Amino acid sequence: MHPLQHHRVEPRRIRPQGRASNLPTYESPLCGPGYTIRAGAPRDLEAMVELTEEVFQDSFVRDVLLADPGFRFDDARLVFDAEGKLASTTFVIPREMRFEGVLLKLGGIGGVATDPLHRRKGYASAGLKDAIEHMVTQHYDLSFLYPFDPSYYARFGFGDLVLPFQVLELDGVVERSNGYLLREFEPRDTDALEAIYDEFNRFRVGPFERSSLYWRQYLAKNRPLHERLFVAELEDKVVAYMFLERIFHHWGEIDYKLKIGEVGSLDGHADALLSLCERAAGHAQGAGFERLYFDPVTDFHVPGAREPSEADIADYNNVKYRKMVRVVDLTSLLCKITPVWNARLESSGRKECWQDVFSLRRDRRDSRDRFELTLIASGSTLRADDEAFVKLLLGFEPFEQIEVGGKDGLTDGEKDALAAVFPATRPVFWDFDYL
């Protein structure tokens, strides 16, 4: 049993009622100097594919985004020039993110492409603002993207998250089965992987909700980032799996490194993950690699792994290393995570609800969000920018280490209560979720 399970609610969808009163608002970007913006339509398909393939020099949008099980043309936000030609695209990719027992509605931002002839005209910015407003009207809780320029997306309220990673040197790693049959994935294993994923990630923060269609469609694809998928079998039952993924500094590069992109195991079979790690290391050695990279998970530790050097960081600093998240509909978000925050307080021995500890409001200034947490007992106010609040929300770091203004005026009891509401659970972002 997962150590958090005894005080967590089962994963469920909570629907917000009405529109939040404290949402950021934008002037409608439906038109501007020399351009118009609208949602995509089937008649735009050819133009969307042509533009994105010209910009990205690959078929990612056509083969992945447009083929996504959740894709709707309404989620393609398109900018047209004065002559009616498609000039810029921004896609909202609908997902649901697990947050310790509840599901948050998350909009991934991808396929941001602008015709080279129309760059530096504000088209991409207008398209991104329109995508955010679209997510606001659809009550998305959070939005997520991989930034080509973090400072650019910070202007739109996205907070920068750089998760720590570790390095496993392959010299001397010996493959041991520990009684498991280790082999490559076969299509007949799909149902088993889906069940393992659900059990392994049920009470984590960060993993996505995946439908059977999602699993089957993407496991059947020849994804450019995929290297190998290994499974561990015991008594004819698959009990663990491991994705070995490729990482690039830039999309389309020939040179790449290898990382452990995702793991999962049934309760009682954590040792199978170590066997799979050694199996993956053996494959990497055979392919000529000297090391593997991976993002640590709370209950998955690899013996012999080390912290990265500056050279490792330079090697690993790839298109998926930096992640950025923003809050979209705060009222919807609070509606869904209130049971989690209250359960956290209860598990720490406190009897109050989070609303008895602090109130929360958001203000938008100079295109950035400001969050204020007012402590009920003392009236002290904590001030967090959008990045600090996202780190608090997702448990990116301990509460004491996150830069929040006004912390010096808190009592020890208030600090303890906030640390209980915002523990350092450290989010888990599986590569397979984001493709």
Rounded Cα distance, 373 and 2, in Å: 31
Q: What is the pLDDT of residue 5?
A: 46
Phi, psi of 304 (to 5 degrees): 90, -10
For residue 25, what are the contacts with CB-CB under 8 A and spacing of at least 6? 364
In this structure, the number of other CB atoms found within 10 A of the CB of residue 428 comes to 22
What percent of the residues of the chain are helix, what percent strand, and what percent coil, each to the nearest 5? 35, 30, 35
What gap in Å lies between CA 22 and CA 136, rounded to an integer? 11
Nearest of 363, 370, 358 to residue 22 by alpha carbon: 363
Q: Would you list the DSSP string of 252-309?
A: T-S--EEEEEEEEE-TT-HHHHHHHHHHHHHHHHHTT-SEEEE--BTTB--TT-B---
Handedness of CA 101, 205, 279, 250 (dihedral sign): positive
pLDDT at 391: 92
Q: Which helix (H) or strand (E) holds 292?
A: strand 291-294
- Predicted TM-score (pTM) of the model is 0.88
State residue 301's pLDDT score: 82
Tokens of 186: 């076969």
Domains of the chain: 5-161+322-329 (3.40.630.30), 166-319 (3.40.630.30), 331-421 (no CATH)
Residue showing tokens 């608090």: 392
User: What is the pLDDT at residue 251?
Assistant: 53
CA geometry: angle at 401 spanning 397 and 405, to 5°?
A: 120
Q: Which structure tokens are listed for 376?
A: 């009920």
Q: 206 and 429 in contact (C-beta within 8 Å)?
A: yes
Centre a 10 Å sphere on the Cβ of residue 331 and count the other Cβ atoms it contains: 17
**What is the Cα 46 distance to its own chain's centre?**
29
Q: How far apart are CA 308 and CA 293, in angstroms?
A: 9
- What does each C-alpha distance from 180 to 106, 175, 273, 274 come to in angstroms? 37, 12, 10, 11
Distance, first Cα to last Cα, the chain: 29
Distance of CA 278 to the CA centre of its chain: 27
> In a structure prediction context, what are the per-residue pLDDT tens digits for the chain, which is 435 residues long?
433 443 444 556 666 554 443 443 333 445 566 789 999 999 999 999 999 999 988 887 888 788 888 889 999 999 999 999 999 999 999 999 999 989 999 999 999 999 999 998 999 999 999 999 999 999 999 999 988 888 999 999 999 888 788 999 998 787 788 899 999 999 999 999 999 999 999 999 999 999 898 888 878 765 667 899 999 999 999 999 999 988 876 555 667 889 998 999 999 999 999 999 999 999 999 999 999 998 877 678 888 899 999 988 888 877 667 889 999 999 999 999 999 999 999 999 998 999 999 999 998 776 678 899 999 988 899 999 989 999 999 998 888 888 888 888 888 899 999 999 999 888 888 876 765
Q: Helices 190-201 and 212-219: crossing angle, nearest 10°?
A: 120
Q: Are 139 and 267 in contact (CB under 8 A)?
A: no
Using N-to-C axis directions, what is the helix angle for 412-421 and 330-347, rounded to 10°? 110
Euclidean distance between CA atoms 131 and 29, whole angstroms: 10
Two structure tokens written together for 76: 């393609």
- Which has the closest alpha carbon to 321: 312, 329, 332, 309? 312
What token pair was written down for 262? 């995702």
pLDDT, residue 219, reads 83
58-to-61, 124, 201 alpha-carbon distances in Å: 8, 20, 32
Q: Which residue has the tokens 């208030």?
A: 414
Ramachandran sector of residue 48 (left: φ over 0; alpha: ψ -120 to 50; beta: rest): alpha
d(C-alpha 315, C-alpha 293), whole Å: 10
What amino acid is encoded at 231 in this protein? V
d(CA 323, CA 312): 18
Six-digit token string for 353: 């609800």
Based on its alpha-carbon atoms, the radius of gyration of the chain, rounded to whole angstroms, reads 22
